[in-house]
Amino acid sequence: MCAYALQKAGVEVLLVEASPRSGGVINSVTRDGFLLELGPQSFSGTSQLRGLCAELGIADQLLEAPPKAPRYVLIDGELMPVPMSPPAFFTSKLINGSTKWALARDIFGKTTPPDGDESVGAFVRRKFSDQLLDRLVGPFVSGVYAGDPEKLSIRSAFPMLYEAEKASGSIVRGMFRVAKKKKGPRERPTLNTFREGNETLVRALSAKLGNAVLTQNNMAKIYKQSDGTFEVTLESSRNSESVLAKSVIFATPTQVTANLLSQLDGSFEPLLTPLEYAAVAVVSLGYRKSEVGHSLDGFGFLVPRSAGLRILGTVWNSSLFPGRAPDGQALLTTFVGGATDPSAVKLSGEELSNLVHSEIAPLLAIKSNPAFCNVTMWPRALPQYNLGHGERLASLAKSISRFPGIFLTGNYLRGPAIGSCVEQAFATAEEVLKGV
Ligand SMILES: Cc1cc2nc3c(=O)[nH]c(=O)nc-3n(C[C@H](O)[C@H](O)[C@H](O)COP(=O)(O)OP(=O)(O)OC[C@H]3O[C@@H](n4cnc5c(N)ncnc54)[C@H](O)[C@@H]3O)c2cc1C
C-alpha cells in the first residue's frame, strides 16, 4: 500500500518481499470448490479503503455482508445474539441488571481514567462488571487481537474508549461526542470482502506496482553510507545483491525489523523484540448443509473463555458472502489459540480439525463429519498491544527520528485490522514524501 502510494506520487520504489507472493497474511485460496481465507476473513469498509478500491478499479468486486447479520456469543451452552444497539443492550438477557445499571451509571456519571496504563480487563471491571468482561468484551478481544484482556492496554488497543473517558468522563457520552465532531456524512459501518477473496486487493496493488515488486528476496542487511543513503543487501536462493536507497520503509514483522535495524543502532532491538504476538490456527471446515441443524443465519459466534472450550470463535463464511462453498455446502472457519491458549498451535492439523469439529458439532447440531477441511497455522499471527505498548512506540519513534530516511509501517503501530494497516501505510507514505 505504502509502495503504491509512493509510486503514484512519482517516487521510484522497489518492494522487496521474502515469500513467493506479496500480501503477507492476506491469503485467499480456492480448494475443492471452497474459497478459503487463510488469514483475515473480511474487513471493515472504511471510506479510505473504498476510495482505494475505486482507484484500483476493483470496487465492482466488493461484496458486503448482510448489515443486520446477527453475531452470537456462547452462554451456558446456548448461542445468544449480541445486542447491536443501546436499546437491545438494555433488553438483552445476555447481561444482568447490575451490568445494565453500570452502563446507566456511565451515561449519567463521571469517571477519570488512572494516570498509568490500564489493562482492558481492569478498565471493564472498573467501569462496568466482571460479567461484561467475560461475556462480551473478552470474546470481542479474542475476535480482534486473539488477545488476553488482562494484558492488553486499553489506551493502545482501544484508544477511542480511553479518549472518550478522558474527554467526557463517560464512554457513551465521549463516543457520541466524537461521532458528532466527525465532518461529512455519517459512515455506515460495513463488513466486506471481494468476489474472489480478500487477496483481490493485494493482486490489484501488485499489478499497479508491476516490475517494482521483487518477490522471493529477503531483505538481509542494511548499512548507512557516509552520504546518508542506505545500502540494502537482498538475498534470494540463487544470489545476493545490493541496492542503494534514499529511504527504507520496514513493512516487516517486528522481529525482522528489530534484527535489521539493530545493524544500524543497538537501541532498536530492546524496543521491538519484547512485543508479543499471539499464535492462531485457522481451521476451515466444510459440511453438507443438510447435515447442519442450525440455520447458520448470521455472522458466526464468539466463545467466552469461561465456557471452557478451546475454540475462540467461528465465522459462518458461506452465510456472509456468496461463492464461498459449493452448492449445498457450508463453510465454517474457526480460530483456535491466541494469547490465552498459546499451546493450541502445537497440535497437529488433524488434532485441530478433530478438536474444532468436536466443539462446534453440538453447538450447531452438526450430524456428520466435515466433508472438507483445511488448517493454517500462524505462529506469529497478531501483535499484542499489551501494557506499555504506547511507551514502547513513543521510544521507537524517538529512535527512528535519529535516522532520517528510515520509516516503519505495519500492524503493530495503529491497529491490526486491514483498514488500520492501510491508514498507517498511507500516513507513512506521506512522511516519506516530506523528505523527497
Ligand atoms: C488469522 C488472522 C485473522 C485475521 N483476521 C482479520 C480480519 O478478519 N479483519 C481484519 O481487518 N484483519 C484481520 N487480521 C489482521 C490483518 O490481516 C493483519 O494485521 C494485516 O494484514 C498484517 O499486515 P502487515 O503488512 O502488517 O503484516 P504481514 O501480513 O505479516 O506482512 C509482512 C510481510 O513481510 C514479509 N517479510 C518478512 N521478512 C522479510 C524480509 N526479511 N524481507 C522481505 N520481506 C519480508 C513477509 O513475507 C510478509 O509478506 C487477521 C490476521 C490473522 C493472522
Nearest CA to ligand 1 atom 46: 24
What atom of ligand 1 comes closest to residue 410's alpha carbon? 26
- Residue 180 confidence (pLDDT): 81
Per residue in 245-303, pLDDT tens?
Answer: 999 999 999 999 999 999 999 989 998 998 999 999 999 999 999 999 999 999 999 99
Residue 354 CB: number of other CB atoms within 10 A? 16
Segment 351-407, tens digit of pLDDT? 999 999 999 999 999 999 999 999 999 999 999 999 999 999 999 999 999 999 999
Angle among Cα 218, 224, 229 to the nearest 5 degrees reads 95
Which residue's alpha carbon is nearest to atom 24 within ligand 1? 410
C-alpha distances in Å from residue 117, one per residue of 122, 155, 377: 10, 7, 32
Measured CA to CA, the distance from residue 67 to residue 299 in angstroms comes to 10
Q: Ligand 1: distance of its center to the CA of 115 in Å? A: 33
pLDDT of residue 85: 84
Instruction: For residue 79, give the nearest of 418, 316, 405, 270 by alpha carbon.
Output: 316
Helices H / strands E in the chain, number of each: 17, 19
What percentage of the chain reaches a pLDDT higher than 90?
93
CA distance 189 to 180: 16
CA dihedral of 166, 169, 172, 173, whole degrees rounded to 10: -100
Q: 105 C-alpha to center of ligand 1: Å?
A: 40
Pocket test for ligand 1, best of 1, 25, 256 (most atoms within 8 A of CB): 25
Q: What is the pLDDT of residue 430?
A: 97
- Residue of 209, 263, 418, 423 to mutate, ligand 1, most atoms within 8 A of C-beta: 418
Exposure letters 9-21 (e unless 16+ CB within 10 A, then b): eeeebebbbbeee
* Percent of the chain whose predicted confidence (pLDDT) is above 70: 100
User: Strands, DSSP E only, in 303-421?
Assistant: 311-315, 329-337, 372-383, 406-408
* Shortest-distance Cα residue to atom 17 of ligand 1: 40
How far is it, in rounded angstroms, from Cα 274 to Cα 389? 10
Q: How far apart are CA 265 and CA 275, in angstroms?
A: 18
φ, ψ of residue 112 to 5 degrees: the values are -125, 135
Reply yes or no on whether the pLDDT at 436 is more than 80.
Answer: no
Q: What's the chain's length in residues?
A: 436
DSSP helix, strand, coil percent of the chain (3-state; round to 5)? 40, 25, 35
User: Count of CB atoms within 10 A of residue 181's CB?
Assistant: 7
What contacts 221, CB < 8 A, 6 or more positions away? 232, 233, 260, 263
Nearest CA to ligand 1 atom 19: 416
Query: What spacing in Å lies between the alpha carbon of 7 and ligand 1's midpoint?
Result: 21
Query: Averaged over 84-106, what is the pLDDT?
Result: 90
pLDDT of 182 reads 76
Q: What does the mean pLDDT of the chain come to?
A: 95
- The 10s digit of each residue's pLDDT in 293-334 is 999 999 999 999 999 999 999 999 999 999 999 999 999 999
Ligand 1 center–CA 43 separation, angstroms: 13
Q: Per residue in 67-81, pLDDT tens?
A: 999 999 999 999 999
- Which residue's CA is minimally distant from atom 45 of ligand 1? 18
CA of 81 to the centre of ligand 1 (A): 30
Ligand 1: lining residues by beta carbon, under 6 Å? 16-19, 24-26, 39-43, 218-219, 251-253, 256, 280, 282, 378, 381-382, 410-411, 416-418, 421
Q: Atom 29 in ligand 1: which residue has the minimum CA distance?
A: 24
Instruction: Encode pLDDT of 5-64 as tens digits.
Output: 999 999 999 999 999 999 999 999 999 999 999 999 999 999 999 999 999 999 999 999
Q: Atom 52, ligand 1: which residue's CA is nearest?
A: 39
CA 145 and chain centroid, separation:
6
With the most atoms of ligand 1 within 8 angstroms of its CB, the residue from 252, 314, 374 to mutate is 252
- CA of residue 185 relative to chain centroid, distance: 26
Whether the predicted pLDDT of 342 surpasses 80: yes
> What three-state secondary structure class fits 386?
strand
- Backbone φ, ψ for residue 260 (5° rounding): -75, -45
CA dist 218 and 363 (Å) reads: 45
What's the average model confidence in pLDDT over 146-161? 97
With a cut of 90, say whether residue 87 has pLDDT above it: no
pTM of the model: 0.96
